[in-house]
Amino acid sequence: PSTSTMTSNEPHDLQCLTIGELEQHAAVHMDKQTRDYYNEGADSGSTLLENSQAYDKYRIRPRVLRDISLIDTSVPVFGARNSIPLGIAPTAMQCLAHPDGEIATAKACKKAGMVMGLSSFATTTLENVATASD
């Protein structure tokens, strides 16, 4: 059972672009126990800190009046074409954050043409995730 206050029909906040904004969004939509689970890093939390620091290094530099009609950002990944050189990392217990959990992530990845890793601590079976991404 999900402890999230978010429903599957609720629209996504398209203004939520930074880790700080995501944390504020979670404070409104998740109970404290679920937020604490996601905010807590394993062991000493070093990977969580490194990931946050790495994310903070990226900046979006707008480029205007450029011809982008022929840009191809796709890359080969495991013999398939990925739309961008990124993928979705395995995240445990996604149904704690949203009732659709890994199924929604798989559908979004399929729609975006991206790869997704499935956590060994997923709240949805591998078979159901695979079916959702067909």
Task: Give the model confidence (pLDDT) of 25-78 as tens digits.
Answer: 889 889 999 888 888 877 787 888 888 888 888 877 777 888 888 989 999 998
Q: Read off the pLDDT of each residue in 68-95 and give the average, rounded to a whole number.
A: 92
Instruction: Report the predicted TM-score, pTM, of the whole model to 2 decimal places.
Output: 0.72
| Predicted pLDDT at 56 | 84
Mean pLDDT over all residues of the chain?
A: 86
Q: Is 85 helix (H, G, I), strand (E, B) or coil?
A: coil
The pLDDT, as a whole number, for residue 2 is 44
Contact 132, 106 (CB under 8 A): yes
Give the whole-angstrom CA distance, residue 50 versus residue 53. 5
The pair of three-digit structure tokens given for residue 96, joined into one six-digit string: 């704690």
**Which of 108, 104, 116 lies closest to 77, judged by CA?**
116
